[in-house]
Amino acid sequence: MNKIFPQGDGNAAAAGSKALPGREGDMPQRLPGFLVAHCGDPASWIYSDQKCDGLNNCGDCSDELSPVTMCPPCGPGWWRCPSTVFKYCSCIPRSLCRDHVQHCSDWSDEYSCPGP
């Protein structure tokens, strides 16, 4: 799973501009704001291209479900359901459908999803 990067202190000129030396997720001293997206936890952020990718990059699904992200509906290789898998938010890959393992809280991945 991708890392969630702390923003550093509130005096930073751009989101994520303070690196945490010696820790995983060290970032350059300055990043343009359009390259980062804020998570539901204001102290955390991810790279902008991690929004709406179907994965729970923020840890609270705010990168997938927040009204601010305005993610499109699930793509053709995905099944929309309330996921039980922390890695996914509102869609799971169709490759997980009909594999005899519950990935949706309503079991639709086993009984309704047409599969891959």
pLDDT of residue 116: 81
| β-strand pairing of 44-47 with 78-80 | unpaired
Euclidean distance between CA atoms 111 and 75, whole angstroms: 20
pLDDT digits over 38-97, tens only?
888 878 888 889 988 889 999 999 998 867 667 888 888 999 998 888 889 889 999 999
The residue extents of the domains of the chain are 1-71, 78-111
CA R_g for the chain:
17
Helix (H, G, I), strand (E, B) or coil at 58: coil
**Is the predicted pLDDT of residue 27 greater than 50, yes or no?**
no
What is the CA angle 69-89-5, rounded to 5? 65
For the record, the structure tokens of 71 come out as 């993610």
Task: Judge contact between 57 and 44, C-beta under 8 A.
Answer: no
Residue 34 has φ and ψ, to the nearest 5°, of -70, -10
